[in-house]
Amino acid sequence: MSVRKIITIDEDTCNGCGLCIPNCPEGALQVIDGKVRLVSDLFCDGLGACIGYCPEGAIAVVEREAEPYDERKVMENIARQGANTIRAHLEHLRSHGEESLLSQAVGYLTEKGIPLPAESEPARAPGCCGQKAEQMTGAATGSTPAKSELANWPVQLHLLSPMAPSFKGRDVLLSADCVAFAVGTFHTSLLAGKSLAIACPKLDDGAEVYREKITALIDHAQIASLTVAMMEVPCCRGLLKIVQDARARAHREVPVRAVTIAIKDGSVLVEQAV
C-alpha cells in the first residue's frame, strides 16, 4: 500500500444514477445497494475521468493509502469490452501523459494478439478536461493593450470573503479557471461590470466550502445576479451544480445564468437562465 491519488464517492450525495459507470472503462465502479461504489483500488487510476459525469458532484479525487493501480488487470477487463473501449482507454492514458501505463497496456494487447485500434476521436461529447488535447483556432490580433475590468482581489473562491464591499449588491461572475484563457475578450464580454470569483470543480478541494460561500454571497452580500462561465467539458458542469446547491440553500432568490464556452475557439456555445 502507498499514498496515491484515487477517487472517493460521497455516499450521502450519490443518488445511484450510475452515469459515471460507462465513463470508467477501467471497471472500477459499480452500483451496489443503490449507491455507486469503488469496487477495487486496483482498477482506479486516479485520473478522474468519471468526475464530470456525476450530476450530483459526489465524486472527487483524494490522496490516501491505496493498493497500486494494476494496468494489466484493467486491460483484462477492458479487452473484453471491444475496440471502442480499448481506444478510449488508450487515449485517456495518452492525454494524461501516462506513458508507462500506456506502454503496459499496449504490451498486454500485443501479448494477447489483440489488434491495436486506430487512433481517432471518439464520437461523443468532450470528456474530462485532460482527455484530449485540442488545437485552438483563435489568434490574437493587434497590439493595443486591453483595459482590465477586474474590480476585486482576491478572486480565487477559497480566498475571497463574501462580505467584502466589492460583492455587496453586485453582479458576480463565477468563472471556471480555464475560461479566461479560452475567451480572448474575457474582460469585455464576460467580466465588465461584475465582481469575479474563480474556481475549478475538478481540481479544487472543498466543494462544501464553495457552497457555503456562494450561499453567503446570495444571502448576506445580497448579490444582484450570478453568471457561471464554464468550458464545454463535463467536469465544468460541477461548478454549476455547486451554484444550484447553494441557491437551493439560500433564503433569497437570485437570477443565475450559465455560459458555456467552446474549447476550439472560445466562442459562447450556450447562454441560458438556470
> pLDDT at position 87, please?
84
Fold of 2-111: Alpha-Beta Plaits (3.30.70)
**Strand pairing of 256-261 and 225-231?**
parallel
Domain map (residue ranges) of the chain: 2-111, 165-273
> pLDDT at position 128, please?
55
- Residue 92: which of 76, 109, 78, 108 has the closest Cα? 78
Check if 2-111 and 165-273 are the same fold. no
- Residue 57: which of 28, 27, 19, 92 has the closest Cα? 19
Positions of the chain with pLDDT lower than 70, given as ranges: 95, 119-144
pLDDT tens, position by position, 22-36: 878 788 898 888 999
- How many other β-carbons are positioned within 10 Å of the β-carbon of residue 39? 13
- Residue 179: which of 247, 115, 239 has the closest Cα? 239
Handedness of CA 173, 177, 182, 188 (dihedral sign): positive
> pLDDT at position 144, please?
65
> pLDDT at position 88, please?
79
> pLDDT at position 138, please?
56
CA 95 – CA 130 distance, rounded (Å): 6
Q: Is 141 left (phi over 0), alpha (psi -120 to 50) or beta?
A: beta
Fold of 165-273: Dna Topoisomerase Vi A Subunit; Chain: A, domain 2 (3.40.1360)
Map grid coordinates 455587496 to a residue: 168
Q: 202 and 178 in contact (C-beta within 8 Å)? A: no
- Phi and psi, residue 171, nearest 5°: -75, 135
> pLDDT at position 135, please?
53
> pLDDT at position 120, please?
41
Task: State in Å, rounded, how far the first CA of the chain is from the last one.
Answer: 45
> pLDDT at position 152, please?
93
CA angle 42, 47, 49 (to 5 degrees): 105
Residues in the chain: 274
